Structure 1
């Protein structure tokens, strides 16, 4: 259900940006570091949204891989703890078995 709401909100925001961009079609002067150009405002708006989306996607991918690496490390640590715990249980079983065998032999 969360994925559906995310999609609906994303589509609504995309529609708002598209309407905003289509309404603003006048040419504007854009100053670059190396020059100046007359560009329709719709292209400036859509370009800005595209660059913002690429930046957000890049940060999200970085975060995803960082969290994925952390999950793998924690899973490895959990498996090591489980193996250690199983080893202690086996050792306790051996001690119980040895003590019962010693008691049987002493009788």
Structure 2
């Protein structure tokens, strides 16, 4: 039963992602430091989301690793 729910949930996310891409397919001019580029708005938004997620994960990794080290030290003693 859980596999069916997971499949339906994944399918719903894919459909929402596809509709999001179709609704935001207009090109947007992006100004870089060394030039400009016309990129689809959906690509920019997804790229920003992924970049934010990676920054969030990397920000928590230091604390997570220090806590794991502390747990391993406490288990040894």
TM-score bin (small chain): 0.5 to 0.7
Q: How many residue pairs get matched? A: 68
Which residues of structure 1 form unaligned runs of 5+?
A: 80-107
Query: 1:40 offset after TM fit, Å?
Result: 0.8
Shift of 1:33: 1.4
Q: Which structure carries more relative contact order (alpha carbon 8 Å, separation 6+)?
A: 2
Tell me the secondary structure at the aligned position of residue 55 of structure 1: helix
Could you say what secondary structure the match of 2:37 adopts?
A: strand
- Which residue of structure 2 lines up, in the alignment, with residue 30 of structure 1? 30
Q: Relative to 1, partners in 2 of residues 1:55 and 1:61: Cα closer, same or farther, differing over 3 Å?
A: same
User: Hey, what's the Cα distance between the residues in 2 that align with 1:17 and 1:52?
Assistant: 20
For residue 17 of structure 1, report the CA deviation from its aligned partner.
7.1
User: Cα distance 1:41–1:32, how it changes in 2: closer, same or farther (>3 A)?
Assistant: same
TM-score (norm 2): 0.63
Q: Distance in 2 between matches of 1:33 and 1:59?
A: 26
Higher normalized helix content (fraction of residues) = 1
What is the TM-score when the length of structure 1 is the normalising length?
0.49
**Alpha-carbon distance, 1:23 to partner:** 1.4
Change (3 A) 1:55 1:27: same
Q: Which residue of 2 aligns with 1:40?
A: 40
In structure 2, stretches of 5+ residues that fail to align are none
